[in-house]
Structure 1
Amino acid sequence: MSMASALTNHWVVSGSSRHDMSNRSDDCFKVLTWNHNVIKGKQFLPREKVALTGWQITRAVPKDPKKWWEIDMKDNVINIKSQDDFDEQLLMARDKFTVVHFFSPSCGACKALHSKVHQFAEMHPGLQFLMVNCNEQTHICKRLHVCVLPLFRFYRGAEGRICSFSCTISTIHKFKDALKKHGVQTESQAAEKGDASPKMDRDDGPIEPSND
């Protein structure tokens, strides 16, 4: 028997034998209800309503939703899994301009920046973006002396780290200014020239980390 609609949008009714029913002396069919994967309570349905059709009521468990930092991932954005992964990504990037974003799931400022960072990644497909979850990659953060979040660091080939700064959604101009300072053509510059592709120039010196 095909699937049918049920009591709520969290339930489905499917064909089944009566052997799956709970035995109760008051001729009721027991159904457990859930709230976010936690058993919340019980409901009892008259057995005859189920017996007439031979249907079984079950809950359709939704898939785990993506975390906010996993949403809208672009092809040039990589979630770092380990220290070795971090080192390998920088090595494989060679002379490609790499933006490293250090964040924490519990950091409200980091979450507010998320969509903007991925917007930059989409506008600059020639750049590589590495996302470092400081809650999981504590060894990386200790090794690199990450002491403020959200934090951005720019790397480029043999030059290594060329820039380090912190910014929030209200000071996102720091990110744009840093890209421009280190030779990455921003969207405003591209619009003026009629060219949306990022262009790379030589670095003209690092900028000081922000004390925000």
Structure 2
Amino acid sequence: MALVLVHGAGRSGAAAWPAALLDGGVALDLAALATARGRAEAVAAAVRPGDVVVAHSLGGVAAVLALPMLAGPPAALVLCEPALFDLARGDAAVEAHVAAMDAAHDALPSLPGFWARARPALLGGPFDAGRWEDERALASRLAGTERPWGQGIDAGMLRDVPTVVVTGGWNAEYEAIAAALVRAGARHEVLEGSGHRPQDDPRFPAILAAAER
């Protein structure tokens, strides 16, 4: 059994994970793959039956899309604030986020215009010209990444896969996604105060260890 780590839209490879998870884990690097399908195929190529898959944010989309491609199910799927918006469409917070990000993409090819609309939805604060040079690379990467909704994900893809969803209790749309996953049979753990990266929280290894059993 291996631990397969699937990063989100920010940091990639080993840089996306705390050192404790890298001991015996396989940290995928999907940064060069712009489409959900391409990332899912890369995940499917790395996962063997009985592995435990840990996926963060956008990586949750790739991990779930990969499930039908696998020769056998993983032993467990641990989703950290997964961007599985397709499961929670209609929720007010989810629809507000989708509308904001769609408007941001409509502002392209102006990257500053994209970031002025996307930053509040993603980082919770307005565009700041003083931070622009530091944030330009992130803005460019996100502008070039396929949006996580409209990927055809449904709850049936998770059938017979033991699933844990871990959130930070800070964001309404991720809590709505977690609630949808619970309705599909997942267990929900909330690590208050951990924000969008609950995998960095010192309480996370215990949740992972329970999922692996």
Query: What is the TM-score with the length of structure 1 in the denominator?
Result: 0.28
Higher RCO structure, 1 or 2 (CA under 8 Å, sep 6+): 2
Q: Where is the helix percentage greater, Structure 1 or Structure 2?
A: 2
Q: Which has the higher strand share?
A: 1
Q: Give the TM-score taking structure 2 as reference length.
A: 0.28
